[in-house]
Amino acid sequence: MNLWFSSLTLVAGLFLCSTALPPEECQTLVTPSSLADPSTMYGRLNVLVGYTDHEAFNGILKVTDSSWLKISPTSSPNKIVMSEENKMNGQCFSSSVNITIDGNTATTDAYLPSIANITSVFHLVPSCDGCVVFNINTTASNMEHFLKLLNMTSTVTNDEIVVHSLYLMGKESTIKDSDMEHFKKQASCFGFDREPDFVYDTKKGFCVEGEGIHI
């Protein structure tokens, strides 16, 4: 039994070593891309895979059937607007937020201020062809109230929380297996060394723009 267990541990260790990326390759995958030309983000982006490190946001992902964004320019060269259509527990919700770009960093205005005070700072990081990956750090408060509005039970209070998330988005509604595996390795470079918290199921379908309750 001990020999079997030792052999199994050795195989598992070799597998982990073979799937882990070397530091120099991780550096390439975590370094923010330039936002000098934000048009690379414009248009519709379907959320395909996601990771998060906080129970509140993980709970939201568990009840999310689908999500897509539309990013559009404004009259200001360093400002864009992002609208979002989320299907959660079969119900559609829409929202929008203004975003300011400074160098390679994008910062949202206060998001859902009447419900929960949420602000996000994110970077665009390298991804597969036709894909976009957002590395997001979010500060939020009043999440207890927000989760109740979504009919979710949680131990989260209204105290301020800090959340790290990573999302893979694309123009299509599916992702190739090779791109999924590459994203998982990229996620491990950010500390998400596990299976994703959200993977879009094409059977769930997307909300039509403007279909849901605006929050």
Give the domains, in start order, of the chain with CATH numbers.
30-214 (2.40.128.20)
Asked if the model's pLDDT at residue 6 lies above 70, the reply is no
Residue 52: how many other CB atoms lie within 10 Å: 22
Q: pTM for this structure?
A: 0.85
In tens, the pLDDT along 152-186 reads 766 666 678 899 999 999 999 999 999 999 999 99
Tell me the C-alpha distance between 205 and 87, whole Å: 9
In tens, the pLDDT along 35-68 reads 999 998 999 999 999 999 998 899 899 999 999 9
H helical segments located in 20-126: 23-30, 55-62
- Mean of the per-residue pLDDT values for the chain? 86
Burial environment of residue 98 by CB neighbours within 10 A (0 to 12, 13 to 18, 19 or more):
middle
Tokens (6 digits) for 199: 């993977």
Tokens (6 digits) for 47: 């959320």
